[in-house]
């Protein structure tokens, strides 16, 4: 799977790249273990992994859980037979390069801001979880090696920018996908210290606030400080916990909790009531809409990477998973419920970022685990199809209004410029100023390239 597998251990160390010795590598690894952030960043910078000028860049990854139908949305086939082209029609967009579905009129109006990659494919199983892990980490997990989420890599290499955690998932981690595989939204071999902060709440709820962000009223600053001191007394006698990753993580989390509790700026970032009602309504008063708004606030306040899960699971919820029959979603469910909500929130996010001058520094990547079968199934839906699907990107240096790659006449396979999950993740790293060919300390100190050898960022998006 990895080219350097065939080489001897000595060779692998040499592969760390110029200027990084094995010793330094191990050091990076051990720092990660205790959750230090700044020295890592300095080391990474010294090693040429991070380009300092790009430190402003952030990423919002919108993960379209369920697998949207590329043929009904972004890669329509109006000339194909009816069982393939489906019931919807393409409309003109603000880009001369492409049309998209009538289900996404607001996307059409801002098509000059985003670019489509119509030739994505992967060779993992056609189950949700497999695609989740591949599209978010760039790799399929084999041999017990769990590749970190792109946001966890950023957390590891750059640490947090402010009192807020570097990597946040909204509204919560992905739920069941049916395949019972790791979903890729974790720190993987970089350690749990780089797991995302998952909100665990619905920001569209009436009295939404991040649970337990502040101590009870009677606990003022003085008592908070006393509590912290007292906790240190008890904590001083558990040296044997330091070999336990979970125990270290618990401690890290208490420190992080304390940082957020005592930083007004950090707490404000989560406070949606500071947004005018008009802005909130522009995003849509639903879970996904308010997550998009919250993502903008978080990025504005210094969070480096926000992943929004459009849905929580593919079961018992109206999602992109349009098999046509229960417990999944019908094509009508996608048309009437999913698309309007999605179209409104996405366009609001892009316009808002653009108006605030944040779009250049914020990559917005819309990904999914796969596309859907070219042929409509007997239930009137479409099934899983990893052989060909569309992803799209805006901001973060991406030039909008373009199409990269193409699918064949029925959207069944890439016809031009096939793009693998590793290429997608490399593209994210590229926008964030990370060299995808540089190395991370894997399990046992074994170096891993950020994405596999043979993957490349989609450079046409940027030039």
Partner 1 sequence: MRAFLNLLSLLAHGRRFRGVCLLVAIPSITAQLLAGSASEPPVSFRNDIVPILSKANCNSGGCHGAMAGKGGFRLSLFGYNPEADHLAITREAQGRRVEVSQPGLSLLLTKPTTTVRHKGGKRFDVDSEDYRTLARWIAQGAPGPQAGEAELSTLVIDPGERSVRIGETLTLRVKARFSDGRERDVTRWAKFTSTDETVASVDGTGKVTVIGPGEGAISAWYSSRIVIARITSPYAAEIPDSVYAAAPRTSAFDSLVLDQLKRLHLQPSPPADDATFIRRASLDTLGRLPTPAEVRAFVDDARADKHARLADRLLSAPEYVDFWAYKWSDVLLVSGARLRPAAVKSYYGWIRNQVADNTPWDRFVRQVVTAKGSSVEEGESNFFAVHQDPESMAENVSQAFLSLSINCARCHNHPLEKWTNDQYYQFANLFSRVRAKGWGGDPRNGDGQRQLYVEASGDLIQPRTGKPQPPAPLDAPAMAMTDTRDRREVLADWLTAPSNPYFARAIANRIWAHYLGVGLVESVDDLRASNPASNERLLAALADHLVSHRFDLKSLMREILVSQTYRRSSEILPTNREDRRHYSRFFPRRLSAEVMQDAIADVTGIREQFTELTLSDGSTEKTAFYTNSPRSVQLFDASVTSYFLKTFGRNQREITCECERSNQPSLVQALHLSNGSTVNDKLSAQAGRLNRLLGEGVDADRLVTEAYSVALSRAPREAERAAFLRMFQEAGPDQRASVAEDLFWSILTSREFLFQH
Within 13 Å and on the Cβ side, how many CA atoms surround 45? 13
Taking the complex as a whole, the smallest distance from the CB of residue 146 to partner 1 amounts, in Å, to 11
β-bridge mates for residue 62, sequence order: 308, 366
**First and final C-alpha spacing in the chain:** 31
Taking the complex as a whole, the smallest distance from the CB of residue 443 to partner 1 amounts, in Å, to 4
Taking the complex as a whole, the smallest distance from the CB of residue 215 to partner 1 amounts, in Å, to 5
- Read off the DSSP letter of residue 336: I
Between 18 and 211, whose beta carbon lies closer to partner 1?
Answer: 211
User: What is the token pair recorded at 69?
Assistant: 């139908």
Between 53 and 239, whose beta carbon lies closer to partner 1?
Answer: 239
Among 74, 197, 370, 393, binds partner 1 (CB under 8 A): 197
Taking the complex as a whole, the smallest distance from the CB of residue 454 to partner 1 amounts, in Å, to 12
Q: Is 242 in the site for partner 1 (CB under 8 A)?
A: yes
Taking the complex as a whole, the smallest distance from the CB of residue 324 to partner 1 amounts, in Å, to 17
Taking the complex as a whole, the smallest distance from the CB of residue 32 to partner 1 amounts, in Å, to 16
Q: Is 251 in the site for partner 1 (CB under 8 A)?
A: yes
Q: Is 273 in the site for partner 1 (CB under 8 A)?
A: no
Collapsing DSSP to helix, strand or coil, 310 comes out as coil
Helix axis angle, 22-34 to 245-262, nearest 10°: 60
Long-range contacts of 201-205 (CB under 8 A, 24+ apart): 201/171, 201/172, 202/171, 202/287, 202/290, 203/170, 203/171, 203/272, 203/287, 203/290, 203/291, 203/293, 203/294, 204/285, 204/286, 204/287, 204/289, 204/290
Closest CA to 135 of 305, 366, 408, 415: 366
Q: Is 453 in the site for partner 1 (CB under 8 A)?
A: no
Among 195, 321, 369, 452, binds partner 1 (CB under 8 A): 195
Q: Is 378 in the site for partner 1 (CB under 8 A)?
A: no
Among 260, 404, 410, 428, binds partner 1 (CB under 8 A): 260
Site map (CB under 8 A) of partner 1, residues 93-132, x = contact: ------------------------------xxxx------
Q: Is 261 in the site for partner 1 (CB under 8 A)?
A: yes
* Pairing relationship of beta strands 406-407 and 414-416 according to DSSP bridges: antiparallel
Taking the complex as a whole, the smallest distance from the CB of residue 118 to partner 1 amounts, in Å, to 18
Q: Is 237 in the site for partner 1 (CB under 8 A)?
A: yes
Closest CA to 159 of 67, 243, 68, 259: 259
Q: Is 446 in the site for partner 1 (CB under 8 A)?
A: yes
Among 26, 250, 285, 453, binds partner 1 (CB under 8 A): 250
Q: Is 165 in the site for partner 1 (CB under 8 A)?
A: yes
Taking the complex as a whole, the smallest distance from the CB of residue 38 to partner 1 amounts, in Å, to 19
How far apart, in Å, are the Cα atoms of 452 and each of 1, 420, 434? Answer: 8, 10, 14
DSSP 395-452: STTPPSS-EESEE-TTSSSEEES-B-HHHHHHHHHHHTTB-TTSEEE-GGG-EEESS-
Taking the complex as a whole, the smallest distance from the CB of residue 463 to partner 1 amounts, in Å, to 28
**Which residues 205-234 are close enough to bind partner 1 by CB under 8 A?**
210-216, 218-219, 223, 226-227, 229-231, 233-234
Between 218 and 463, whose beta carbon lies closer to partner 1?
Answer: 218
Phi (first) and psi of residue 462, to 5 degrees = -105, -15
Between 109 and 145, whose beta carbon lies closer to partner 1?
Answer: 145
Taking the complex as a whole, the smallest distance from the CB of residue 9 to partner 1 amounts, in Å, to 6
Residues 6+ apart with CB under 8 A from 30: none
Among 26, 34, 257, 285, binds partner 1 (CB under 8 A): 257
Taking the complex as a whole, the smallest distance from the CB of residue 107 to partner 1 amounts, in Å, to 29
Q: Is 180 in the site for partner 1 (CB under 8 A)?
A: yes
β-bridge mates for residue 372, sequence order: 384
How far apart, in Å, are the Cα atoms of 225 and each of 83, 163, 170, 213, 229? Answer: 66, 17, 30, 16, 6
Bond prior to 171 in cis (omega within 30° of 0): yes
Write out the residues near partner 1 by the rule CB under 8 A: 5-6, 8-9, 123-126, 142-145, 165, 176, 180, 192, 195, 197-200, 210-216, 218-219, 223, 226-227, 229-231, 233-244, 246-247, 249-251, 253-254, 256-258, 260-261, 315-316, 387, 442-446
């Amino acid at each position: 799977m990895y080219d350097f597998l065939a080489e001897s251990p000595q060779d692998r160390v040499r592969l760390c790249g110029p200027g990084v010795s094995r010793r330094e590598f191990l050091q990076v690894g051990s720092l990660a273990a205790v959750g230090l952030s700044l020295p890592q960043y300095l080391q990474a910078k010294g090693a040429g992994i991070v380009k300092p000028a790009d430190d402003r860049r952030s990423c919002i990854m919108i993960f379209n859980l369920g697998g949207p139908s590329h043929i009904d949305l972004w890669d329509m086939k109006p000339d194909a037979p009816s069982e393939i082209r489906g019931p919807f029609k393409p409309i003109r967009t603000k880009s001369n390069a492409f049309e998209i579905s009538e289900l996404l009129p607001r996307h059409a109006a801002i098509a000059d801001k985003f670019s489509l990659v119509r030739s994505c494919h992967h060779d993992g199983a056609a189950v949700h979880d497999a695609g989740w892990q591949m599209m978010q980490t760039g790799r399929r997990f084999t041999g017990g090696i769990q590749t970190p989420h792109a946001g966890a890599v950023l957390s590891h290499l750059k640490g947090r920018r402010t009192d807020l955690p570097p990597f946040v998932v909204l509204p919560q981690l992905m739920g069941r996908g049916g395949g019972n595989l790791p979903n890729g939204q974790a720190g993987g071999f970089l350690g749990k210290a780089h797991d995302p902060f998952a909100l665990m709440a619905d920001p569209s709820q009436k009295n939404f606030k991040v649970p337990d962000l502040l101590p009870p009223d009677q606990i003022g600053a003085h008592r908070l400080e006393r509590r912290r001191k007292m906790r240190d007394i008890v904590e001083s006698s558990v040296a044997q916990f330091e070999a336990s990753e979970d125990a270290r993580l618990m401690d890290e989390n208490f420190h992080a909790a304390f940082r957020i509790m005592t930083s007004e700026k950090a707490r404000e970032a989560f406070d949606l009531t500071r947004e005018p009602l008009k802005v909130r309504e522009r995003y849509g008063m639903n879970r996904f809409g308010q997550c998009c708004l919250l993502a903008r606030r978080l990025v504005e306040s210094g969070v480096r990477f926000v992943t929004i899960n459009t849905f929580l699971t593919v079961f018992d919820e109206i999602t992109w998973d349009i098999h046509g029959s229960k417990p999944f979603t019908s094509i009508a469910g996608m048309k009437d419920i999913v698309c309007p909500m999605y179209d409104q929130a996405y366009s609001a996010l892009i316009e808002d970022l653009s108006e605030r001058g944040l779009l250049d520094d914020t990559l917005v990547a819309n990904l999914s685990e796969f596309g859907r079968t070219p042929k409509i199934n007997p239930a009137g839906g479409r099934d899983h199809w990893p052989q060909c699907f569309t992803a799209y990107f805006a901001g973060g240096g991406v030039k909008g209004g373009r199409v990269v790659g193409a699918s064949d006449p029925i959207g069944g396979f890439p016809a031009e410029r096939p793009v693998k999950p590793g290429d997608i993740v490399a593209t994210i790293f590229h926008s964030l100023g990370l060299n995808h060919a540089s190395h991370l300390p894997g399990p046992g100190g074994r170096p891993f390239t950020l994405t596999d050898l043979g993957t490349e960022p989609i450079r046409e998006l940027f030039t």
